[in-house]
C-alpha cells in the first residue's frame, strides 16, 4: 500500500575546515567553466547570476590554500576563467563520491520494504 511511495533521498558536499566547500551547484559551475573558459557564460548557461557565481568561486579559492579556478580580466577576450589541476581533482573526487552516494540511496530505499 504505502511502501512503494517512500524513497530515501539526500545531498552531500565537501567541507573544508567545517565550512561548506563544494556541492552540487559549484560542481556544475566548475564543469561549465572547464568547458567554456568563461565565468560569465558558465553562470548564464546554468541560470545562476554572475555575481553569485563569482562569489562561489571566490569562496572556494579562499577556503583552502589551493586555488580551484584562475580568473583573469582584460586582454583580447576580455578575460579568462581556467580550472586548475586541483580543481580537476575535486571534480573527479566529487563524481566518484556522488556515484557511491546514489548507490547508497537506492540500497537504503530497497530496505524500506517493511515499513
Beta-carbon contacts of 91 under 8 Å, excluding residues fewer than 6 positions away, are 27, 30, 31, 34, 83
Binding to DNA (CB under 7 A) within 13-72 occurs at 38-41, 48-52, 54, 57-58, 71-72
Q: Would you count residue 78 as binding DNA (CB under 7 A)?
A: yes
Among 80, 91, 97, 105, binds DNA (CB under 7 A): 80
**Closest distance of CB 17 from a copy of itself, Å:** 5
| 72 beta partners | 80
Residue in the block written with cell 582584460? 74
For residue 111, what are the CA distances in angstroms to 4, 91, 101? 11, 30, 15
Q: Would you count residue 76 as binding DNA (CB under 7 A)?
A: yes
Q: Would you count residue 113 as binding a copy of itself (CB under 8 A)?
A: no
Amino acid at each position: 500500500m504505502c511502501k512503494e511511495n517512500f524513497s530515501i533521498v539526500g545531498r552531500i558536499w565537501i567541507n573544508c575546515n567545517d565550512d561548506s566547500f563544494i556541492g552540487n551547484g559549484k560542481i556544475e559551475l566548475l564543469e561549465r567553466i572547464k568547458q567554456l573558459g568563461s565565468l560569465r557564460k558558465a553562470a548564464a548557461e546554468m541560470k545562476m547570476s554572475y555575481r553569485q557565481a563569482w562569489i562561489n568561486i571566490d569562496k572556494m579559492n579562499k577556503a583552502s590554500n589551493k586555488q580551484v579556478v584562475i580568473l583573469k580580466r582584460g586582454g583580447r577576450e576580455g578575460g579568462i576563467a581556467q580550472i586548475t589541476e586541483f580543481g580537476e581533482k575535486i571534480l573527479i573526487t566529487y563524481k566518484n563520491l556522488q556515484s557511491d552516494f546514489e548507490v547508497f540511496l537506492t540500497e537504503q530505499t530497497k530496505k524500506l520494504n517493511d515499513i
